[in-house]
Every structure is written in structure tokens, then in C-alpha cells.
Chain A
């Protein structure tokens, strides 16, 4: 009994925090699936919107999918995100393996450099990159956008993969080398399969960060937008309800991903570049 009473403050904290985290998502749900009369129209005419689903409609979603731009934006977002995820593994796996083999002191200097690159403001970097891409014909392409977004994603991917590789038993790794497997063969046939959960998580994290990315997208691909930019444009043009439907489309996959990946998203990884 005594123990149960002592948990009350804990549960109050839990409830308050969950209300704060879930309320905005609930609002998004209301906006997307309730008739406008109870949401935006109420707000814009100075009334209070209802806090419960006062009605149900698929009209907003249908209206949003009736806009031809959405398919182009969806395809562009998907192409970019998969390319970013793929590149992250292509460059990240060898780099993380290399880092795991170096002396901790040197590895830490290299990690800090990667981390520092991650800190540089996207806004500052985007303007010169945009000028360069203009010359190379890469502006507005998903390739150019993916190359720029890779920058934000790569350091985190490397730290995540490094964490996954370091948790493998060292004997297996050296065993494979003694057996005479070449280095690249060792990495791809022994280490990657053993660390597959971590590798998958690294891919999904980079995929997700690209899917959400705004700054590079608005500087490098304003005319052929990705989904986030499309939402921005629709809101600024006053199409509030379509934006709600777009937002649902952007949000559902990432929420599923976060639920799936929650146990991989560890503080040690985000801190990776500066730890030790």
C-alpha cells in the first residue's frame, strides 16, 4: 500500500508528459478527419474549436489527393529518402568499421570532426551549395538534395553503426580475418549480418531524417518540392485543410518508425561523437 502511494507523483509526471507529447498529434488527427466547421472554420471565425471529434469526414484527405502535385512530391520525398539511407550505409559502414579498428584517441578526433561538421548551420551551407549545384545542374533534382541531406545524416549513422560494431564480440571479427577472408568480404559477410539490427536502425534513422528535412529542401528544391515543402507552400497559400492531410501522410510512417526503433535510439549514440 505504502509503495503504491509513493508512485502517485511518478504517475502524475507520466500523465502530464504524455498529454504534452500526444495532444498535438491528436489535434492533427482532428484537423485531418473532422469537418472544417468544427476546426479551422471555427478558429478563423473567432470561435473555439471542439476538443473532441465532433464528426468524421474523409473529404480533407480526398481533396488533398485530388491535387496533382502531391504524387510528384511524394515520389520525390521517397526517392530522396531512400537514396540518403542507401548512401549513409554505403559510406557509413566502412567508416564505422575503420573507426572501430583505430586507437580510441585517434578515433575520437575523427568522430569529433564529423560531429563538428554536423553542427554547421544548414542555412549557411545551403546558399553556397545551391550556387554550386546551379552550375552542375543539380538544383531541383533528388540527387542533389540527397547529397546535401546526407551531410546531416552521415555523422549520426557512423556513430550508430560504430556502436553496433563495437558491441560485437571481437573474437568473431579476428577469426574471420584469420580464416583469410578479404577485408571487404569480412565486413559484408560477417560483420554486417551480425550487426543487422543496428544497420537497419541506422538506415531507418537516415531515411526518417531525410523524409522530415526542410532547410536544404527549401533552398535546393523550391520549385519541385518534397512533401515538407509542399505543406509549407499550402499553409502559406491558405490551404489549411489540405496541409492537415499532407501532414498526416508525412507523419504516419515516421510515427510507426519511431515506435519500431525506440529501443535503438539511445543517448550513447547521439553522444557518440563526443564520448571518450
Chain B
């Protein structure tokens, strides 16, 4: 009986947070889905979706979103793995490095977009990126020229990874610190090289944390907005929502695209959660 009372107060304390989240995220999400099947005359229709699937905008922006997400995740995990590995070692200047690599995490997305943007680092000709390439003697691409798809994607993905790699790195680091050092010592004695230790010990023991970082980042990649608005001359799902939202006749289309975005995110999170429960069992 006492236990029940304890739990009861605990629930009461949590309640405001739950109500808040329900009111400000679940309710609007359902509203968006509902509105996506509406017309100005309040009938239930599929025409918003039909219109979207007939055109090329939606297809292109889904494709772009997927390309950007995959490439950004690849870069972020690669660099974050290097950072986390470095932070597992002891060396002079570690304190400085520990703070230094985190700084982009605090820099506003809009500031990062501006510095990397059209006017500065990735300017179409002669930006800071090209200035460096020029001094090294490498060819200089036109980063934000819409005809240059690969470099458009690269520009966005590099800027986005600049800001977000620290989060991935600290999650992976948290995972690495849970692996007992004895395993590595034993493997080294058995003659396992650095690469085989990484593949056979680090990666499998990290799978849980990799999944967590994948969810956090994967979902955020689908949600990139300000940066794409600045740096990417093509549309991704979020910027497509915004472009329909701005025009009075297409509000319901913006709801429909927003719903598709939502569906992708729910799908992605579910897949990663499934992977996680599978990797924990095996």
C-alpha cells in the first residue's frame, strides 16, 4: 500500500511534463495529419497527396533528403569515431582538445549556415574553401551552383557535420568507456592488431550506443531546415514544407508533406529501435 502511494506521487510529479509534451507535440502532429486530408471547404480528400505524387517536387525532395541523411551520417560517424578513440587515450593537451572539439555544438545553426554559406566558405567562386584549395593547388568546384549536385550535397553535409559531430562523438565515447580495458589487453596478448580489435571488440560492444546516436542524428538529419534553406539550392522535405506553407493556396499541401516527413521519422526510429533490441538479444 505504501509502495503504491510512493508511485502515485511520482506519477503526479511527472504528469506536467507528460501533459506538456502531449499538448505541444502529439496533438499538433495529429492535427497536421488530419489537416493533410482536408481542403479549404473541409472535406475529407486524398487530392493533396495525389497532387504531390503527380509532380516531381516531392519525389526529388525525398531523394535529396535520403542522400543528405546517409552521407551526413557516414561523415559524422567516421569523424566521431576518430574523436572518441582519441579521447580514450591520455596525452598532453587533452583538456584543450576536449573543449575544442565541442565548441561547434554551441554555435547556432544559423550562424554555421551563414559562415559556410553562399557568401563565405562555400561561395560559388572564390570562397574560403576554394581559397584553400587554390593555395594547395587543387581544382576549385562551384559549391552552390545548382547544376553541381554532388558539391551542393557535399557543402550541406560538411556544414551540418561540422555542427553535429560533437554529439555523436560524446555518445560513442560514453559507449567506449563501458568496454572493460581487460578485453583489449587480452586481445593484444592473443596477437590481435588494432584493426581487428576495433572490428571484433569496439564495434560489437558499441552497437547499443551506435543505435542511440543513429536515432538522435538520423532523425535530426531528416529535420535539417535552416542549413538547407541557406546552403542547398534543391529542396528537401523540410524546405518543401516551408515553401508550400508560405503561399496561401498550398497550405494543405504543406500539411501533406509535413505528414510524409513525420511518417519517415516514425519509420526510421522504429527500424533503429528494432535493430537495437535485436542487437541486444544476440
Chain B binder among A39-47, A63-71, A195-203: A39-47
A residues within 8 A CB of B61?
Answer: none
B residues within 8 A CB of A61?
Answer: none
Tell me whether B114 is interfacial, beta carbon within 8 Å: yes
Chain B, 94-137, CB within 8 A of any chain A CB:
97-112, 114-117, 119-121, 123, 125-128, 130-132, 134-135
Instruction: Determine the distance from Cα of A49 to Cα of B115 in the docked complex, in whole angstroms.
Output: 14
A14 engages B93 (CB within 8 Å): yes
A residues within 8 A CB of B46?
Answer: none
Q: Which of A48, A148, A267 has the most CB of B within 10 A?
A: A267
Please report the number of residue pairs spanning A and B whose Cβ atoms sit closer than 8 angstroms: 280
* Shortest Cβ distance from A274 into B: residue: B212
User: Assuming the A-B contacts A122-B225, A148-B24, A251-B108, are A183 and B162 also in contact, with contact meaning beta carbons closer than 8 angstroms in the complex?
Assistant: no
Majority DSSP secondary structure for residues of B touching A: helix
Tell me whether A5 is interfacial, beta carbon within 8 Å: no
How would residues 5 to 45 of chain B score, 1 for a CB under 8 Å from any chain A CB and 0 otherwise? 01101111110111011101111110110010000000000
Chain A binder among B48-56, B147-155, B170-178, B185-193: B170-178
A125 engages B32 (CB within 8 Å): yes
Chain A, 236-266, CB within 8 A of any chain B CB:
240, 243-244, 247, 250-251, 254-255, 257-259, 262, 265-266
**Count class of interface residues, chain B:** 35 or more
Report the count of interface residues on A (CB-CB < 8 A).
Answer: 90
A27 engages B104 (CB within 8 Å): no
B86 engages A266 (CB within 8 Å): no
B223 engages A123 (CB within 8 Å): yes
* Shortest Cβ distance from B128 into A: residue: A27
Partner of A125, one of B29, B35, B134: B29
Chain A binder among B66-74, B196-204, B261-269: B261-269
B residues within 8 A CB of A123?
Answer: 223, 225, 238, 241-242, 258, 261
User: Assuming the A-B contacts A214-B226, A251-B107, A255-B103, are A235 and B117 also in contact, with contact meaning beta carbons closer than 8 angstroms in the complex?
Assistant: yes
A residues within 8 A CB of B265?
Answer: 119-121
User: Assuming the A-B contacts A95-B14, A98-B12, are A7 and B91 also in contact, with contact meaning beta carbons closer than 8 angstroms in the complex?
Assistant: yes
A117 engages B91 (CB within 8 Å): no
B131 engages A129 (CB within 8 Å): no
B residues within 8 A CB of A247?
Answer: 108, 110-111, 114-115
Partner of B106, one of A28, A91, A117, A208: A208
Chain A, 153-185, CB within 8 A of any chain B CB:
154-155, 158, 183
* Shortest Cβ distance from A238 into B: residue: B119
A residues within 8 A CB of B222?
Answer: 121
User: Assuming the A-B contacts A10-B91, A247-B115, are A98 and B14 also in contact, with contact meaning beta carbons closer than 8 angstroms in the complex?
Assistant: yes
Closest 9 CB pairs of A and B: A267-B174, A98-B13, A258-B106, A95-B17, A254-B106, A212-B108, A128-B31, A267-B171, A94-B13
List 6 A-B pairs, Cβ < 8 Å: A14-B93, A18-B100, A114-B18, A119-B215, A128-B31, A258-B105
- Contacts from B to A (Cβ < 8 Å): 6-7, 9-14, 16-18, 20-22, 24-29, 31-32, 35, 79, 82-83, 86, 89, 91, 93, 97-112, 114-117, 119-121, 123, 125-128, 130-132, 134-135, 162, 167, 170-175, 209, 211-213, 215-216, 219, 222-223, 225-226, 229-230, 238, 241-242, 245, 251, 254-255, 258-259, 261-262, 265, 269, 276
